Structure 1
Amino acid sequence: MKYEHERVPTTTADIKAIEEIVATVERTQRAKDAEGFLALFRPDAVWTTAHGKVLIGFDAIAEFTRAVLPGADWDGDVTYEAAHTQFLRPDVAAVKIRQVYRSPEGESQGSPLYILTKDDDGTWLLHVGQNTEVRVDTA
């Protein structure tokens, strides 16, 4: 059987809603706002941190976020950009993120992949997240 890729139809409203989720991630990370960040997740979400910690379900994500985010040691200057959005179905999108942290010591980068799903009421939420630290070769 030959696989033929068909483009999934998308709407401007869906793209804007996904971009707003990414913008809210940025705002809540900058503000170190655990509750604002957690409001973006589905109850059955799965999240993997940049250092490989796997968090399954909202309760595990919330426990980790509430313990780590408010006391995070970066200065809050972080940006998130939806670098690529691929709709897998009309209600499922894979979003590749360009993430940059800036501090007096320098800059570090992350390369998260978010899977967002749309509820019946049209609300997009984070369903799966895999963050990856980008290592810069200084040699």
Structure 2
Amino acid sequence: MQSRLDAQKTSPAAYDAMLGLEAFLCKASKLEPSLLELIKMRASQINGCAFCLDMHSKDARAQGESEQRLYTLSAWREAPFFTDRERAALEWTEALTLITEGHAPDDVYERVKHYFSPEELVNITLAIITINGWNRIAIGFRYIPGEYQPGAHK
């Protein structure tokens, strides 16, 4: 596979806008870094984004995430390694990433709102929107996985 183009070099202002969303999520959203990485990993699994899976598995491990949780993330419903709060976030991630399969069903929303404040729910939704955007950039322009190192994008 060969990369099609470098979005950062081609449209720096647009890329900086995406980086602004990331900066907000990492610095001002008050969401746990481990939760953000789980959201990024799960959406990237659903979307089949190898570049983002490579990046966020490395970032998660650098932050202390266990291999066990990363390996079982796609089966989070059956795996006993996730908290109820994480499960709610993962269910919301799936509902918003697979939007054509039910348009964020009411029952999922009712479950997720019990674990997050309204502000946190907005911020988690923004995290889901952002990773889905990054997935589409990486997939569309065929970013090549494997070379990313944690801390390189900060």
Same fold (TM over 0.5): no
TM-score (norm 2): 0.28
TM-score (norm 1): 0.30
1 or 2, which has the higher strand percentage?
A: 1
1 or 2, which has the higher helix percentage?
A: 2
